[in-house]
Structure 1
């Protein structure tokens, strides 16, 4: 009788020097959020996948829900989440929003207890210069809806749409800026150079025993001892270069063994 483990899929190990960016946690999360799929966030909590809303809530005079049936909801939803990147989605949403000049202004009520001095430096009470019309595409036809329906039928947040309207007023195209800052996982290139130069200082010997050439370091060495020597040589980098990174760099950039292999006499 075969064991149950025989049915398990083999674990595919990453080849040395091959970077699998698609498997980086942040990239997995970004892709899942864009597609509305289920994912595990940075805190280890499972975020359920997004789904087409069963019931749309609308209290506007236009009564948008009267002409939106299940087929239309599915059509709009699938069209939006078929877009592969957040940039494409944001541009798509922005094209469905129209900015219009405010025709009638209503002056905001001011606090009677505030003096004129208190109001200095504050924005003008007539702050809203634009109003926005939200639309959806039904069989290729642009159809106006209220903001609540626009948010629900695309499964997006108010903050996301607010960003798009702000950019629309400035005549700017939305660009996804996530991950454009320096990565929290990034290691300064100077540190990598220091590690590489340090490892390269050790004498490397070569054996021709067997079918392949093999390079090795002295048998008295190991990565732990080499790391201790690195800390002695670079005391200023003790806090910057941890053993785990030194070990990883050694394994991924040097094909070296320790101790000369035994040969037949």
Structure 2
């Protein structure tokens, strides 16, 4: 029996203190050695792209630009006619004049650098000693201004002859200012140099500059904070380290001032400088508080911190930890590699699936909510690496539970309605949660799927505690969007939040009729997987890979490399029964009616509804049913120990 589109309701209406952290050069962690500051977070600075540098280049190239005062200056062009007594502009024919002037501007712009342009202009300027005046121009010769040099300016015509022009014409034909010509003429007359240099901004009078001794003090302070690598991935971020989640740059700066409060020079350091220095010179981040860390890592790390630990045991622990981390990394390496293959290959897809942390209803910012039990909304995600889309199957606890039946029902719907028909190789990645993803029911379903669709399915499980999947990134986006919404009263509102979190998210509202009892169906139809021909017991909790090729055989491995010594084969066998008895076994719906809410929880939910939920949403809560069972709620499922 298969599910149909009508069984999943698509939501068409959804729119789209200083002593706390005393920096120390010592480290409690094996990996907390000082990181060289050459491993910066930022790319090398390209000063050519600075706004001032771009503006300077545009000016030299004669392009239009905006000044620091916001004025728009057009491209370089020929200036006005000098109209002097020598008739400089008349020394060119009309056709030659237009061509020559345009040619001069283009040739000057092509030089593209001010100092080279000045050298070029100096070659066109010559000077000679001025002749003494024939008669005094004033009655008092001592007050007479006398030129010591006479400058001559020349421009080549179309025939290559040098034509003498006046200073104003020289500036106009080059599209530059007369002041610039005057400065070059003075430089030529001084006899100091024939190669002008740009000295603006190159002085060393900078009284506010931070001495190198202070920058080293800041660096020493930052390096003193304990740091560690990412819990999940180390190969891609080998240079990236993380400080405590309780720290930030502001607190680090305050600790710096507190530590060096008796150092007057250190008090010169301002927050802006500390912040820029931290960002530019350290590839550090701030870790989030970790609530789902690896028990193996934590246990070994805690033992390694023991000061009385003997050297042999310490070396053994370090080796075990490195092997453990290598196994964890192998999972991520394969996820990355297969995902890239899926993007480039038509018949390959990679799916990761997982449940999000339960979403509470009603969600209100009231203090007493923390002391009340709330209604849960479940959100199951299937992420495709081929399409880079995520599909979310959402339902509340009155509709379904979190048993093996729900994930298998959603996977079955995805295979039949959403997955590309050309897929022949399917890679699955999930965590080790026994209730949903790692149980005795799922192998029967995946084997049947591989047989019916004639495809190969390889299911990957991570090392416990190292199960960060693409689904978790999607859940992070949802949580970020959820924090912006102060109040949520119904599942539909959660659906809208998910939909609005990303354009690549698609929400499917699950109806109870779409959840089937696969667990009972397979228990009636197939023999339980126990031991194989080698007398090896089937223990799914220890497996890291399971291969389904559709021939009734499942290949299982306890490591991520599927080494021959670790691979065991198990035969899926049907139970012995008559054909009529087998035909009586049908896939039934998992639930025949709305699921009741435990009475204690129901009372808490309704008390919150009465206080905080608007009357327009009361219909949803009024439809809930209370259970007569007063037992405590079941403990939430977790990954394998």
Aligned pair in 2 of structure 1 residues 30, 62: CA closer, same or farther (>3 Å)? Answer: same
> Structure 1 residue 91: deviation in Å?
0.8
Match of 2:166 in 1: 146
Q: 2:278 — aligned with what? A: 250
SS at match of 2:81: coil
Query: Is residue 64–residue 75 contact of structure 2 (8 Å, CA) maintained in 1?
Result: yes
Task: Name the TM-score, length of structure 1 as normaliser.
Answer: 0.78
Change (3 A) 1:22 1:225: same
**Coordinate RMSD, CA, aligned:** 3.0
- How far apart are 1:82 and its partner, in Å? 0.9
Structure 1 position 207, deviation (Å): 4.8
Matches of 2:254 and 2:179 in 1, distance apart? Answer: 50
Whether the 8 Å CA contact 1:76–1:136 is kept in 2: the answer is no
Deviation track 1:220-247 (CA, whole Å, cap 9, x = no partner) reads 2111100112223256357743323322
Q: Is the 8 A contact 1:80 1:154 kept in 2?
A: yes
Query: 1:186, 1:40 → 2: CA distance?
Result: 29
* Structure 1: segments with no counterpart, 5+ residues: 1-14, 113-118
Following TM superposition, by how much is the alpha carbon of 1:74 offset from its aligned partner in structure 2, in angstroms? 0.5
Q: Distance in 2 between matches of 1:62 and 1:77?
A: 22
Find the partner of 1:60 among 84, 102, 126.
84
Q: How many residues align?
A: 240
Please give the alpha-carbon distance, in whole angstroms, between the structure 1 residues aligned to 2:212 and 2:68.
26
Deviations 1:6-45 (A, max 9, x none): xxxxxxxxx71411101122212221221122223333x1
Q: Report what 1:87 is aligned to.
A: 115
Q: Determine the structure 1 residue equivalent to 2:147.
A: 128
SS of 1:131's partner is strand
Q: Rg: which structure is higher?
A: 2
Measure how far apart 1:252 and its partner are. 2.1
Note the alpha carbon deviations across 1:178-234, whole angstroms, 9 max, x for none. 232259897543332222111012122345543435522222211110011222325
Q: Which runs of 4+ in 1 moved over 4 A?
A: 182-188, 237-240
Alignment of 1:101-116 (within 5 A): 101-105=129-133, 107-109=136-138
Offset of 1:46 from its aligned partner? 3.0
Structure 1 residue 61: Cα displacement: 2.3
Tell me whether 1:179 sits opposite 2:198 in the alignment. Answer: no
Aligned residue in 2 for 1:24: 50
- When residues 154 and 111 of structure 1 are mapped into structure 2, their CA distance, relative to the original with a 3 A threshold, is same
Q: Distance between the aligned counterparts of 2:75 and 2:137, measured in 1? A: 38
- Secondary structure of 1:162 counterpart: helix
Q: Determine the structure 2 residue equivalent to 1:47.
A: 72
CA distance in 2, matches of 1:183, 1:202: 35
1:75 aligns with 2:103: yes
Q: Does the CA contact (< 8 Å) of 1:17 and 1:253 recur in 2? A: no
Pick which of 209-218 and 145-154 moved more. 209-218
CA contact (8 A) 1:206 1:215 kept: yes
Compared CA separation, residues 60 and 104, structure 1 to 2 (3 A): farther
Task: Note if 1:98 corresponds to 2:117.
Answer: no
3-state SS of 1:88 partner: helix
How has the CA–CA distance of structure 1 residues 261 and 229 changed in structure 2, closer, same or farther, with 3 Å as cutoff? closer
SS at match of 1:103: coil
Task: Tell me which residue corresponds to 2:59.
Answer: 33
Higher mean C-alpha displacement, 254-263 vs 141-150 = 254-263
Q: Establish whether residue 162 from structure 1 lines up as the match of residue 191 from structure 2.
A: no
Residues 59-84 of structure 1 show CA distances to partners (whole Å, capped at 9, x for unaligned) of 22221111331111101111111112
Distance of aligned partners of 1:39 and 1:189 in 2 relative to their CA distance in 1, 3 Å threshold: farther
Judging changes above 3 Å, is the alpha-carbon distance between structure 1 residues 111 and 63 closer, same or farther for their aligned structure 2 residues? same
In 1, are the aligned partners of 2:167 and 2:181 still within 8 Å (CA)? no
* 1:27 aligned counterpart, secondary structure: helix
Counterpart among 225, 230, 238 of residue 251 in structure 2: 225
TM value normalised by structure 2: 0.34
